[in-house]
Amino acid sequence: FLKKGLCHTFVNQWDEALSCFDKVMLQREQYPMVHLLRGTTFICLRNWPEAIKSFTKSIEIGKDVCRSWVLRARCHAAQGEDGEAVK
């Protein structure tokens, strides 16, 4: 379902992508990449709070997923939370 979710993101089918990523999470919740991909999908929907939650979960699971750190900071900045963005 991970690859299927990615395919949905390539054609802007955000709800379908999230559904696929949720299915992956049911099997492998401790997989940081699925949380990174969910967060990226939420960015495309401009849903900053959900994106931040997904990136935070990705960071908690795999602290070396540097892309999650960067994207979470950008989401905070997009909401005008500059103090949170630099943490």
- pLDDT tens profile 22-33: 999 999 888 899
84 or 43, which is more confident? 43
Contact 58, 52 (CB under 8 A): no
pLDDT in tens, 38-83: 999 999 999 999 999 999 999 999 877 789 999 999 999 999 887 7
Q: pLDDT at position 59, please?
A: 93
What is the token pair recorded at 13?
Answer: 């089918």
Q: Name residue 18's amino acid.
A: L
